[in-house]
């Protein structure tokens, strides 16, 4: 049996546990890391085996999720490569960072800039650093853009249907690897300093702001606090840190995929709407254009449906254990279900509009046929009349 994870909302836990609210600043942070993410949706898919062959930098498959009950199955584990060091001015000092890239078969490239903090810092200092990092420094943005340009060029032979519009998605994770003695991590689930760090807010927050966060703990000495833009993690186990960050990254990859699909169906909806009613003029060029539009719409609907299914099945949950709940909580915090529902509704509207366009095409086609029949009858009458007149003469 696996240990029972602490997954209740903090306000529902027993007094004296993680549910207790304390305004006291937590023990000092001794070792920490800040992961700054930028994900890009570059193509319909990427062939990872071919990608491994074209990459000049040595690459490796990310290891499967293995800690704390696991039961997470990722069909195609991404490739990971290191892309060198980056120096970032943050918190009044130059921080040494390492840039990594993960390449997903879903057509997504996820960049992660890891900044290490080895000197002791207070939570007040951590809040200030995370507040400053809410908007990425220019050097970070430039590092992501250089990496994207390089990998898009390198991976071009491995991409299926590259995207004309490349959409980004950012996220950050602040990982506390070791704290000074004084409090167990799980008891900090309702500590406002952690929420301020996650939201990058220097000023004290109202109690109602806790509705924006989700907290989870597995052992007494670990904690994850999730918001829509940043996660704060207190975790001493390297394997658990790797598993948690991979799942949070994967949740953001899923969000980015659905954002791309939503933009595609919205774009097609805007393109097809002006065509409704135009076919009443019943001109052959419009009919041909309509057939092309219908074919394009049906292809798009099939593609989006297939892509959505592929994204949803890229990660499979086999049991209801800790990592599955973390992944579900991350999807909820990122509002992935809202995007999925929006895509489904827009696809339904697109199908209805395609049906209307098809009906208008049929009406226009029938009208043209009727006109042709009338013209043919008129021609026959004219020929007959001319023939009679010729016979009389």
Per-residue pLDDT reduced to its tens digit, 50-95: 999 999 887 888 888 878 776 777 878 899 999 999 999 998 889 9
pLDDT, position 283:
47
Whole-angstrom CA distances from 50 to 103, 118, 123, 229 are 12, 38, 45, 33
- Can you name the residues that pair with 174 across neighbouring β-strands? 34, 232
Tokens of 18: 């993680």
Q: Which long-range contacts (CB under 8 A, 24 or more apart) does 332-335 make?
A: 332/214, 333/214, 333/226, 333/227, 333/228, 334/228, 334/251, 334/252, 334/255, 335/228, 335/255
Q: What's residue 99's pLDDT?
A: 97
pTM: 0.81
- At 140 the pLDDT is 96
Segments in the chain forming alpha helices (H)? 48-54, 123-132, 138-155, 192-199, 238-272, 284-313, 322-333, 336-392
**CA distance to 191, 276, 291, 295, 369, per residue, from 364 (Å):** 67, 12, 12, 18, 9
The string of DSSP letters for 81-131 reads: EEEEEEEEEETTEEEEEEEEEEE-TTSEEEEEEEEEE-S-B-HHHHHHHHH
Question: Residues 174, 227: contact at Cβ < 8 Å?
Answer: no
Q: Identify the pLDDT of residue 337.
A: 87
Query: What does the pLDDT read at residue 3?
Result: 42
- Do 136 and 36 touch, CB atoms closer than 8 A? yes
Q: State how far the Cα of 109 lies from the Cα of 81, in Å rounded to an integer.
A: 11
Report the chain's terminal Cα–Cα distance, integer Å. Answer: 109
- Give Cα 148 distance to the centre of its chain: 17
Whole-angstrom distance, CA of residue 190 vs CA of residue 205? 12
Q: What is the pLDDT of residue 81?
A: 94
Digits of tens for pLDDT over the chain (393 positions)?
A: 334 344 444 433 333 344 445 578 999 999 999 999 999 999 999 999 999 999 988 788 888 887 877 677 787 889 999 999 999 999 888 999 999 999 999 999 999 999 999 999 999 999 999 999 999 999 999 999 999 999 999 999 999 999 988 999 999 999 999 999 888 999 999 999 999 999 999 999 999 999 999 999 999 999 999 999 999 999 999 999 999 999 999 999 999 999 988 887 777 777 766 655 554 444 444 445 556 666 767 777 777 777 777 777 777 776 668 888 899 999 999 998 888 888 888 778 777 777 766 666 666 677 778 788 888 888 888 888 877 666 655
**Residue 101: HSE in the Cβ half-sphere, 13 Å Cα cutoff:** 26
- Residue position matching structure tokens 């169906």: 265
Token pair 């840039």: residue: 99
The first and second tokens of residue 178, run together, are 């070791």
- CA nearest to 73, candidates 325, 332, 314: 314
Give the C-alpha separation, 54 to 56, whole Å.
6
Cβ partners under 8 Å of residue 186, min gap 6: 6, 17, 18, 217, 219, 220, 221, 222, 223
Q: 333-342: long-range contacts at Cβ-Cβ below 8 A with a sequence spacing of 24 or more? A: 333/214, 333/226, 333/227, 333/228, 334/228, 334/251, 334/252, 334/255, 335/228, 335/255, 336/251, 336/254, 336/255, 336/258, 339/255, 339/258, 339/259, 339/262, 340/258, 340/308, 342/262
User: How many other β-carbons are positioned within 10 Å of the β-carbon of residue 362?
Assistant: 12
């Amino acid at each position: 049996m696996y240990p029972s994870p602490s997954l209740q909302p903090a306000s529902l836990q027993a007094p004296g546990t993680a549910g207790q609210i304390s305004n006291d600043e937590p023990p000092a942070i001794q070792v920490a890391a800040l992961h700054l993410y930028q994900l890009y949706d570059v193509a319909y898919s990427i062939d990872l085996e071919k990608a491994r062959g074209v990459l000049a930098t040595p690459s490796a498959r990310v290891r499967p999720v293995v800690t704390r009950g696991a039961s997470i199955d990722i069909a195609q584990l991404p490739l990971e490569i290191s892309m060198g060091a980056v120096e970032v001015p943050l918190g009044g000092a130059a921080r040494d960072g390492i840039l990594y890239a993960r390449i997903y078969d879903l057509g997504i490239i996820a960049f992660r800039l890891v900044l290490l903090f080895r000197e002791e810092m207070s939570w007040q200092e951590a809040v200030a650093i995370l507040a400053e990092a809410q908007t990425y420094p220019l050097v970070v943005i430039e590092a992501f853009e250089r990496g994207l340009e390089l990998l898009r060029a390198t991976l071009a032979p491995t991409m299926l249907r590259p995207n004309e519009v490349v959409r980004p998605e950012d996220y950050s994770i602040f990982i506390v690897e070791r704290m000074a003695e004084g409090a167990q991590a799980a008891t900090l689930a309702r500590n406002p300093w952690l929420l301020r760090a996650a939201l990058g807010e220097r000023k004290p927050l109202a109690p109602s702001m806790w509705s924006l966060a989700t907290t989870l703990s597995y052992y007494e000495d670990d904690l994850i606090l999730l918001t829509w833009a940043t996660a704060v993690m207190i975790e001493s186990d390297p394997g658990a840190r790797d598993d948690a960050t991979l799942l949070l990254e994967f949740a953001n990859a899923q969000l980015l995929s659905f954002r791309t699909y939503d933009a595609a169906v919205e774009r097609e909806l805007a393109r097809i709407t002006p065509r409704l009613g135009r076919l009443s003029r019943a001109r052959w060029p419009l009919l041909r254009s309509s057939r092309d539009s219908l074919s394009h719409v049906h292809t798009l609907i099939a593609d989006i449906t297939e892509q959505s299914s592929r994204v949803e099945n890229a990660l499979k949950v086999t049991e209801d254990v800790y990592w599955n709940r973390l992944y579900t909580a991350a999807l909820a915090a990122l509002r992935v279900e809202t995007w999925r529902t929006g895509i489904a509704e827009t696809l339904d509207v697109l199908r209805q509009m395609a049906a209307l366009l098809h009906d208008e095409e049929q009406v226009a086609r029938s009208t043209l046929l009727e006109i042709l029949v009338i013209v043919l009858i008129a021609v026959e009458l004219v020929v007959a009349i001319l023939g009679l007149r010729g016979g009389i003469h």
